[in-house]
Amino acid sequence: VALIIGVFAAALVLAPVVNILHEAYVIGVGLQAPQAFLMKAIVEGVFTGNMDWAMVGAGAVLGIFFIILMRVTSIQFSIMAFAVGMYLPWLMSTPIMIGGMVKWYVDRQIDGRLKPLSPEADEDTQTEYEENVETFREEIHNKGVLFSSGLIAGEALMGVILAALVVTGISIALIEGAPGLAGLPVFLYMAFLVGYVAWRDLDMPEVRKKWGKLLK
């Protein structure tokens, strides 16, 4: 019953919101929807017989190559993330890449604070150490993930609000026709905050008290 009520309530809200967004930006033009267009292309290709199987095969071969590469070398990365980056427009994939760089930097900060494991440690001690390190990483990363989730939710709400302003013809611009690069400093500051809310915990007394055995 709760699920039915939830679907009904969401339908009442989503329909007018999507109409407002489409009227303001035009879905697929100003409001890009790469996932939807990808699924549309796949479905149309399968049912009409016009699927570009050469490209599908090339993607499969590329995926197998990367799996073998990760098996025989120390290079490790997510094949799914690589695939997503291939079809997303650069306006979406660039923030994802910057987020990955922030995570890499936070991981470097974590690695620099960890005590090295003794070479003489037995297998059980090594396993326990690795499990504790993984748990510690997740605890530190969760702060950044929560902060990022809030940014995503806020961006979605602001998109709807701005669309409503466009539809109603209301302008709140401080400078008409301001270049988009004017928002770059704010974007960089947000990227810094995502990392900061995570790595600041490394020096907090309660964190050092809880994970004192792992930290230098």
Q: What is the mean pLDDT of each run of 10 residues along the chain (216 residues)?
A: 87 83 76 77 85 87 91 85 80 84 89 83 84 88 90 88 83 74 86 88 83 82
pLDDT the model gives residue 61 = 92
pLDDT the model gives residue 211 = 83
pLDDT the model gives residue 150 = 92
Residue in the structure block whose two tokens are 């879905």: 27
119 secondary structure, DSSP code? T
pLDDT the model gives residue 72 = 92
Q: 110 vs 58, 70, 93, 97, 169, CA distance in Å? A: 38, 24, 26, 20, 49
pLDDT the model gives residue 64 = 92
Q: 203 vs 4, 82, 142, 206, CA distance in Å? A: 47, 34, 16, 9
pLDDT the model gives residue 111 = 87
75: tokens are 């290079």
Task: Quote the percentage of the chain above a pLDDT of 70.
Answer: 98
Q: Is the pTM of this model over 0.85?
A: no
